[in-house]
Amino acid sequence: MTNPPGETTPATPSAPGALSRRGGVGRRLLRNLVAVVCLTVLALLVLATVFAPLLTSHSPTRPSLLDTFASPGAAHPLGGDSVGRDVLARLLYGGRVSLLGAFLAVAVALLIGVPTGLVSGYYRGWVDAAFSWVASLVMAAPAIMVLLVAIAAIGPDANAAMTVLGVILAPGVFRLVRASVTSVREELYVDAAHVSGLNDLRIVRRHILPVVQAPTIIQAAQMFGVAVVIQAGIEFLGLGSASEASWGAMLNEAFANLYIEPTLLVAPGVAIVVTVASVGLLANALRDTLLEGGHAAPARRLRRTKTPDSPPADSPVRDDDGDALLTVRNLRVSYPTSDGEATVVDGVSLSVRHGEVVGLVGESGSGKSQTAFSVLGLLPPEARREAEGLSFGGKDLRRLGGKAMSGLRGRRIAYVPQEPMSNLDPSFRIGSQLADPMRLHLKISAGEARKRALALLERVGIDRPERVYDAYPHQISGGMAQRVLIAGAVSCDPDLLIADEPTTALDVTVQAEVLDLLRELQRERRMGMILVTHNFGVVADICDHVLVMRSGKVVESAPVGQLFANPHHAYTRMLLASTLEDAPTRTPLDDGTPARTTVQEKA
Ligand SMILES: Nc1ncnc2c1ncn2[C@@H]1O[C@H](COP(=O)(O)OP(=O)(O)OP(=O)(O)O)[C@@H](O)[C@H]1O
Question: Cα(306) to centroid of ligand 1, in Å?
Answer: 7
Ligand 1: residue of 185, 186, 300, 304 to mutate (most ligand atoms within 8 A of CB) is 304
User: Contact 559/544 with Cβ under 8 angstroms?
Assistant: yes
Question: Cα(368) to centroid of ligand 1, in Å?
Answer: 8
Q: Is residue 304 lining ligand 1, measured as CB closer than 6 Å?
A: yes
CA-373 nearest atom, ligand 1 = 18
Q: pLDDT tens-digit profile of 432-488? A: 889 988 888 888 898 999 999 999 898 888 888 999 999 988 888 888 888 898 888
Q: Is residue 307 lining ligand 1, measured as CB closer than 6 Å?
A: yes
Question: What per-residue confidence (pLDDT) applies to 312?
Answer: 33
Q: What average pLDDT does the structure give for the chain?
A: 80
Q: Is residue 364 lining ligand 1, measured as CB closer than 6 Å?
A: yes
- Confidence band of 8 (pLDDT split at 50, 70, 90): very low
Rounded Cα distance, 571 and 363, in Å: 10
Question: What per-residue confidence (pLDDT) applies to 295?
Answer: 35
Question: What per-residue confidence (pLDDT) applies to 238?
Answer: 78
Question: What per-residue confidence (pLDDT) applies to 3?
Answer: 37
Question: What per-residue confidence (pLDDT) applies to 297?
Answer: 36
Question: Cα(331) to centroid of ligand 1, in Å?
Answer: 15
Where do the CATH 1.10.3720.10 domains begin and end in the chain? 29-55+84-293
pLDDT at 284 exceeding the cut of 50: yes
| Secondary structure class of 482 (helix, strand, coil) | helix
Question: Cα(521) to centroid of ligand 1, in Å?
Answer: 28
- Comparing 467 with 186, the larger pLDDT belongs to 467
Residue 307 burial class via C-beta count within 10 angstroms: exposed 0-12, middle 13-18, buried 19 and up? middle
pLDDT at 345 exceeding the cut of 90: yes
Closest to 208 measured CA to CA, from 99, 137, 119: 119
Rounded Cα distance, 334 and 332, in Å: 7
Rounded Cα distance, 416 and 502, in Å: 6
CA-1 nearest atom, ligand 1 = 27
- Confidence band of 601 (pLDDT split at 50, 70, 90): very low
- Comparing 370 with 22, the larger pLDDT belongs to 370
User: Contact 508/514 with Cβ under 8 angstroms?
Assistant: no
DSSP codes, 408-473? HBTTTEEEE-S-TGGGS-TTS-HHHHHHHHHHHHH---HHHHHHHHHHHHHHTT-SSHHHHHTS-G
Rounded Cα distance, 91 and 85, in Å: 11
Rounded Cα distance, 425 and 193, in Å: 10
- Confidence band of 550 (pLDDT split at 50, 70, 90): very high
H-type alpha helices, 60-199 = 87-123, 125-140, 143-154, 158-185, 188-195
Query: Which residues does 212 contact at the CB level (< 8 Å), separation at least 6?
Result: 18, 114, 117, 118, 177, 180, 181
Question: What per-residue confidence (pLDDT) applies to 404?
Answer: 82
Rounded Cα distance, 117 and 255, in Å: 42
Which H/E stretch holds residue 403? helix 402-408
Q: Which neighbouring-strand residues pair with 496?
A: 413, 528
Measured on CA atoms in the order 60, 62, 66, 69, is the torsion positive or negative?
A: positive
pLDDT at 573 exceeding the cut of 90: no
The residue whose CA has the least distance to atom 12 of ligand 1 is 344
Tell me which amino acid residue 353 is.
R
Instruction: For residues 337-343, give the mean pLDDT.
Output: 87
Q: pLDDT tens-digit profile of 9-21? A: 333 333 333 334 4
How many other CB atoms are there within 10 angstroms of residue 401's CB atom? 9
The residue whose CA has the least distance to atom 28 of ligand 1 is 365
Question: What per-residue confidence (pLDDT) applies to 195?
Answer: 67
Q: What is the CATH number of domain 29-55+84-293?
A: 1.10.3720.10
Q: Is residue 498 lining ligand 1, measured as CB closer than 6 Å?
A: no
User: Contact 332/361 with Cβ under 8 angstroms?
Assistant: no
pLDDT above 70 covers what percent of the chain?
Answer: 84
CA-371 nearest atom, ligand 1 = 18
pLDDT above 90 covers what percent of the chain?
Answer: 29
Q: pLDDT tens-digit profile of 386-443? A: 999 899 988 899 888 777 888 888 788 999 888 888 788 887 889 988 998 888 888 8
Question: Cα(302) to centroid of ligand 1, in Å?
Answer: 10
Question: What per-residue confidence (pLDDT) applies to 461?
Answer: 85
Beta strands in 338-381 (DSSP E): 340-352, 357-361
b/e string for 110-137 if b means 16 or more Cβ within 10 A?
bebbbebbbbbbbebeeebeebbeebee
Where do the CATH 3.40.50.300 domains begin and end in the chain? 315-412+497-505+527-603
Question: What per-residue confidence (pLDDT) applies to 304?
Answer: 33
How far are the Cα atoms of 193, 364, 387, 505, 560 from residue 422, in angstroms, in the given order? 12, 20, 31, 11, 32
pLDDT at 63 exceeding the cut of 50: yes
pTM (two decimals): 0.55
How far are the Cα atoms of 280, 591, 602 from residue 535, in angstroms, in the given order? 56, 22, 8
Q: Is residue 417 lining ligand 1, measured as CB closer than 6 Å?
A: no
Question: What per-residue confidence (pLDDT) applies to 546?
Answer: 92
- Confidence band of 31 (pLDDT split at 50, 70, 90): confident
Question: Cα(553) to centroid of ligand 1, in Å?
Answer: 13
The residue whose CA has the least distance to atom 24 of ligand 1 is 364
Q: What is the DSSP letter of 207?
A: I
User: Contact 44/241 with Cβ under 8 angstroms?
Assistant: no
pLDDT at 319 exceeding the cut of 80: no
Q: Is residue 1 lining ligand 1, measured as CB closer than 6 Å?
A: yes
Q: Which neighbouring-strand residues pair with 533?
A: 361
Q: Is residue 117 lining ligand 1, measured as CB closer than 6 Å?
A: no
Q: Is residue 306 lining ligand 1, measured as CB closer than 6 Å?
A: yes
Question: What per-residue confidence (pLDDT) applies to 146?
Answer: 84
The residue whose CA has the least distance to atom 22 of ligand 1 is 369
Which H/E stretch holds residue 550? strand 545-550
The residue whose CA has the least distance to atom 9 of ligand 1 is 304
- Confidence band of 352 (pLDDT split at 50, 70, 90): very high
Q: At what angle do helices 478-490 and 430-442 cross, to 10 degrees?
A: 10
Question: What per-residue confidence (pLDDT) applies to 561?
Answer: 87
Rounded Cα distance, 27 and 198, in Å: 32
- Confidence band of 313 (pLDDT split at 50, 70, 90): very low
User: Contact 24/293 with Cβ under 8 angstroms?
Assistant: yes
Question: Which CATH superfamily hosts domain 315-412+497-505+527-603?
Answer: P-loop containing nucleotide triphosphate hydrolases (3.40.50.300)
Rounded Cα distance, 262 and 266, in Å: 8
pLDDT at 590 exceeding the cut of 80: no
Q: pLDDT tens-digit profile of 95-151? A: 998 899 999 999 999 999 999 999 998 888 888 899 999 998 888 888 778 888 888
Question: What per-residue confidence (pLDDT) applies to 16?
Answer: 34
Question: What per-residue confidence (pLDDT) applies to 518?
Answer: 86
Rounded Cα distance, 56 and 75, in Å: 10
Of 182-186, 247-251, 530-534, minimum mean pLDDT range: 182-186
Q: Is residue 338 lining ligand 1, measured as CB closer than 6 Å?
A: no
Ligand 1: residue of 369, 371, 548 to mutate (most ligand atoms within 8 A of CB) is 369
The residue whose CA has the least distance to atom 20 of ligand 1 is 365
Question: What per-residue confidence (pLDDT) applies to 160?
Answer: 86
CA-370 nearest atom, ligand 1 = 18
